[in-house]
A and B are shown apart, each in its own frame.
Chain A
Amino acid sequence: MSDRTHVGCGCQRGASHEGAGHGGAAVHVDERRVNVMSVRLRVWRQKHAGDKGGFVEYDAGRLTPDMSFLEMLDVVNEDLQRDGDEPIAFDSDCREGICGACSLVIDGVPHGPGQGVTTCQVYMRNFSDGATITIEPWRAQAFPVVRDLIVDRSAFDRIIGAGGYNSTNTGSATDANSALISQAQAEEAFDAAACIGCGACVATCKNASAMLFVAAKVKHLNILPQGQPERRQRTVAMLKAMDDEGFGHCTNEYECEAVCPKEISVEHIAFLNREYLRAQVLSSGMRPVITEA
């Protein structure tokens, strides 16, 4: 399945105020920007989980280099809708790299070109005029496609539910300064806690393993004093949940680190492995033991 639609030629602009910016002053928008740049898109379209899906090509014009990649898709979608066609479905919300919603594989790379950025932080200046760009959803057994470029990542929520927290009921906390935490330790915990749960690590991994995601949460909590009481259960339970959800095993390919928008280090995976061994040794016979992680 492959057909081509021509969008973005600038016809039918609607009655929008594109000549004026917020604030009322004239903004150097349209004239200078019409067709400054155009690209050809190959986009994965799939109506629903059960549909086979396939690539559809679109020519997208009147783009500018300082548009974000998702703003480019917004423009394409508006043109599709003006023609009565269904827009390309994709997830996004914050559009500033923190919510973890956006999730496109751009030219084979989750979150596209650039180090340490999410899809919503990719700009058209990263592409050359006239380029052909392929856009696909995350692909992993545990992340079934919902529609077009949207996948179901609820498996991540269930892994967190299995142990990605400290069990402290509201009201039971001691004074916040009662446990001292060195600056270095707080920083280390933060580095791991910065994970946005986007799933790029899974999408890029040939085993579709969620080890980097799990390791980040285990590291964050297991090195803090508040996380000690559940250190072992957490490690074992989260790894078991990861297995149960159908994520693969880690074979140290390190592709995850390379695409992670928050540059979560694979060293956390080594930490997780040590935590797991430790948990097994300390709890053998006492807790559910999983055979492999």
Chain B
Amino acid sequence: MALDGHTPGGPLAEKWDRHRFDLKLVNPANKRKHTVIIVGTGLAGASAAATLAELGYNVKSFCIQDSPRRAHSIAAQGGINAAKNYQNDGDSVYRLFYDTIKGGDYRAREANVYRLAQESVNIIDQCVAQGVPFAREYGGTLANRSFGGAQVSRTFYARGQTGQQLLLGAYGSLMRQVHAGKVELYARHEMLELVVVEGVARGIVTRDLTTGKMESHVADAVLLCTGGYGNAFFLSTNAKGSNVTASWRAHRRGAYFANPCYTQIHPTCIPVAGGFQAKLTLMSESLRNDGRVWVPSAPGDQRAPEQIPEGDRDYYLERRYPSFGNLVPRDVASRAAKQACDEGRGVGATGRAVYLDFADAIRRDGESLIRQKYGNLFQMYEEITNENPYKSPMRIYPAVHYTMGGLWVDYNLMSNLPGLFVLGEANFSDHGANRLGASALMQGLSDGYFVIPYTLGGYIAGTPLTDINTSHPAFVDAEKEAQGRLDALLAVQGKRTVDDFHRELGLLLWDHCGMARTGAGLTQALERVREIRQQFWQNVTVSGSTGELNQALERAGRVADFMEFAETMIHDALARDESCGGHFREEHQTEEGEARRDDENFAHVSAWEFTGPGEKPTLHKEALEFQNVALTQRSYK
């Protein structure tokens, strides 16, 4: 099947407007006759739930945490982009569009990205109206900073807690609708199956995580806003509960998974300290505005950083990329750190770290200004490492952070399964092969506040649906299947814990499908994943029962899905025989070690169709057409 993104016609800048006019509308009085299931209460899910309820739809909202306010979005630090051009420094909708397409290494759909840039300005208005306490200038106007290598200042921020404040805004709006009776809230509920009736997504099966009870829910449409799959790697900066289950279950029911090999590895995280470690902590990218990245020039230099004179230091980002310096995009900075460590020049006890040094900034601006800018981050670093970054440089290393891949969606954010929409990090749509800093928050909120209210209406108004209820065989079967899987996990009664398997899977992916990949390594990893998955089903231990709160069982189910998903991710990395953005195939690099794209053969979205566990999925391609930007080799020199 040729995959059609349903991009509307007309000039780039007019597509969204024309499309909104062409979309059918649901009569206001009829909206209350339609029920919409929204899985996830992060920025994408909360904004969609609040907005659709405001419009009059009946909404059922689900999340796995005890409160919608605790969705993973809460942890986002650095900021949110918008083409407001309040700074008068040359920004525009077109520039944000262009930067995002280029930053994504020309692997995203032009029309989607342009719409995102257009809607970005509305997001800020909405959030300020909600009371989000963004940083301000002395005159009382909104402040901006430049972020993630952008050459204009378009990032809005609320100290180092932008995600928290944006999510609390969306959560407040959501709770207002819950209070008004327009949203039914199901916290501590996990979606375990998507229910498809006659080829159309019509509901979900959930498990009440408090009682263990399986429940079915019918709706006119299902929105997945369930976040990314970074935790496939076990160690990542994602919250512990972040998982691929909702997406994977939908994939198994027919939804295509697009570009699963596109993973973002963030350059500035606190390095791994030991085998017990539960997760990794991000140090905001904003630190690279003032911190200088370096390693000793000579391999094996064991001196303390203060004892290494200027002449023996290699500020490798400044050396290799004189015009962007420490502010090169994330994928470039991460790979450069890996390279330095591979050359034996890494620092710290593990040798897998580089310095992020503020000494010059402190000399230049004074400690108090640095404290004012980054105080909470420095404090966080000290709490975790027990070292004082005002005195000696931070040690940082890349870590898995974000996933650009996700369920395939068309311009309307609808998957290939009619009635199934996918928003936020869970879809693949806007960031291509690499996401720019401060653009995920923008995308989640654009999807939820400003895109889905229109496109969902178009679907509902244009699609006659049969009346069904949860006694339909599709629901009964899906419930049975979900219950069967849990019973099977409990029945194994093996010796190794879920975390133990998850750690092993994560290490394998990190080594072979992480910052650098090779055909041989990926082929080997594919074999190994299968073995681990087999061992998992033979030797995992999960205690307790299904009819109670059982965190071991919850995790086991998620890890089982990661195991299946990992194979698809590796297949995708193997099939994409080029380097682009976060996907670096060592076979394809320039003399200087930069990613070399192959636009002739790979300017497409790879969307995978499930064919059975352990089977090679079927590849569908959506060609990417660039009518507005010229494809060039990204250069940050």
Contacts and interface: CB of A to CB of B under 8 A. Distances in A.
Interface of A: 12, 14-30, 33, 47-48, 64, 66-68, 70-71, 74-75, 77-78, 80-82, 84-87, 89, 91-101, 117, 121, 123, 125, 146-147, 150, 152-154, 156-158, 160-162, 164-177, 179-183, 186-187, 189-190, 193-194, 196-197, 220-221, 224, 226-227
B380 A16 contact: no
Given A15-B500, A161-B178, A93 B70 contact: yes
Task: Count chain B CB atoms within 10 A of each CB in A154, A169, A221 and give the residue with the most.
Answer: A169
Contacts of A33: 274, 276
A186 B281 contact: no
A164 B133 contact: no
Interface of B: 47, 50-51, 54, 65-70, 72, 74-75, 84, 86, 122, 124-131, 133-142, 158-159, 161, 164-165, 168-169, 171-173, 175-176, 178-179, 185, 187, 210, 233, 235, 239-241, 272-279, 281, 338, 341, 346, 349-352, 380, 383-386, 397, 399, 449-450, 453, 493, 495-500, 503-504, 506-507, 510-511, 541-544, 548-552
Given A170-B453, A221-B131, A81 B552 contact: yes
Contacts, number: 287
B247 to A, nearest CB: 19
Contacts of B185: 157
Nearest to B270: A96
A12 B495 contact: yes
Contact of B275 (A12, A16, A66, A158): A16
Contact of A25 (B165, B175, B276, B351): B351
Nearest 7 CB-CB pairings of A with B: A180-B140, A165-B172, A18-B275, A161-B179, A173-B129, A161-B175, A173-B125
Contact of A177 (B74, B133, B142, B551): B142
Contact of B497 (A14, A20, A22, A173): A14
A152 B208 CA distance: 14
A150 B84 CA distance: 44
A171 B130 CA distance: 12
Contact of A189 (B66, B70, B75, B131): B131
B497 A28 contact: no
B457 to A, nearest CB: 13
A162 B172 CA distance: 10
Contacts of B126: 168, 170-171, 173
Nearest to B82: A176
Contacts of A121: 383
Contact of B272 (A23, A84, A220): A23
Contacts of B161: 98, 194
A135 B137 CA distance: 45
Task: Count chain B CB atoms within 10 A of each CB in A22, A121, A146, A147 and give the residue with the most.
Answer: A22
A121 B383 CA distance: 7
B637 to A, nearest CB: 27
Contacts of A85: 543
Given A25-B352, A78-B499, A226 B130 contact: yes
A182 B136 contact: yes
Contacts of B176: 161, 165, 167
Contacts of A99: 65, 70, 72, 74-75, 239
Given A74-B499, A84-B541, A165 B175 contact: yes
A81 B128 contact: no
Nearest to A30: B275
Contacts of A117: 383
Contacts of B125: 173-176
A220 B352 contact: no
Contacts of A152: 66
